[in-house]
Structure 1
Amino acid sequence: MLKRIVAVTLLTMLPFGAFADVSGDAKAGEKVFRKCKACHAVGAEAENKVGPVLNGIVDRSVAAVPDFKYSSVLTDMGEAGKTWSAEELAAFLEKPRTYAKGTKMSFAGLRKEADRLNIIAYLATFEDGGS
């Protein structure tokens, strides 16, 4: 329980890079990302698929990948200045269709908090141009 409280506190108080070192396991997140590979890509050669490339997503504006047609709900969030902080990503990944009603993303979500934290740590290892 204390570990969970510390993780949540760090999530809300520290910049993501520091959080990833403390709480998320990027190696475990790589395994969780297998669920995402059918629609998303990361890395130097990544290209948009059914979903956008996820390089540089942590702390990026919502709906910011050029040449990708986002659902209007995500486009509106981006235009309103919303960013994919670690906290926002965790909420979206838990239940995408609840977080962003009207999203085209059909993925049901990641129920386990550890999976969400780990995948965010994994995604944080990819900058805009890849890893």
Structure 2
Amino acid sequence: MLKKLLAATCLFALPAGFAMAESHSSGEMEFEIVGDAEAGERVYRKCQACHMVGEDAQNRVGPQQNGVLGRTVGAVEDFRYSDVLMEKNAEGVVWTPETLAAFLENPREWAPGTKMSFAGLRKEEERNDVIAYLATYNADGTRTTE
């Protein structure tokens, strides 16, 4: 289902690669998602050593990732973030498909000093798929049906 982007403030942050796709709403923001959530679930297995999603998700080495799209960087309660991610939090940086894709491509380049040891997902398709998968989780860990 195609919808127009409702949050004009986020329009500048969306790369061309995220146009013409399924939309995902997160609070008052709506994002265009191009990846395949089913494929993203398989790719996400690389993340599960440190992160969780779902109704029972908890912080591990990394924060739980329910409702990540539209959330301010460094905002998961009871998780101790690196200084660089807390600086991005203070700047009001939000996890959009673009910011998340940049972080997932090369975490240490996007956030020098991050505690995340994962080298990143080099393939754009894998990044898009993981973002599509994460977009299926609401902040409370329930899955969207949209």
Pairwise same-fold verdict (TM > 0.5): yes
- Corresponding position of 2:64: 53
- Corresponding position of 2:32: 19
Cα distance in 2 for partners of 1:123, 1:89 equals: 10
Tell me, yes or no, if structure 1 residue 9 matches structure 2 residue 22. no
Cα distance in 2 for partners of 1:14, 1:113 equals: 15
The change in CA–CA distance for 1:8 and 1:62 in structure 2 (over 3 A counts) is closer
Give identity over the alignment, percent. 53
Q: Give the unaligned 5+ runs of structure 2.
A: 1-13, 25-30
Query: Alpha carbon RMSD of aligned pairs, Å?
Result: 2.0
Tell me, yes or no, if structure 1 residue 121 matches structure 2 residue 129. no
Segment drifting more, 7-16 vs 73-82: 7-16
- Structure 1 runs of 4+ off > 3 angstroms? 12-16
Structure 1 residue aligned with 2:43, among 23, 32, 37? 32
The change in CA–CA distance for 1:25 and 1:14 in structure 2 (over 3 A counts) is closer
Higher relative contact order (CA 8 A, sep 6+): 1
1:77-120 deviation line (CA, Å, top 9, x unaligned): 01110000100000000000011000000000000000000000
The question of whether the paired residues in 1 share the 8 Å contact of 2:19 and 2:32 is answered with no
Task: Please give the secondary structure, in 2, of the residue aligned with 1:35.
Answer: coil
TM-score normalised to structure 1 length: 0.88
The change in CA–CA distance for 1:78 and 1:38 in structure 2 (over 3 A counts) is same
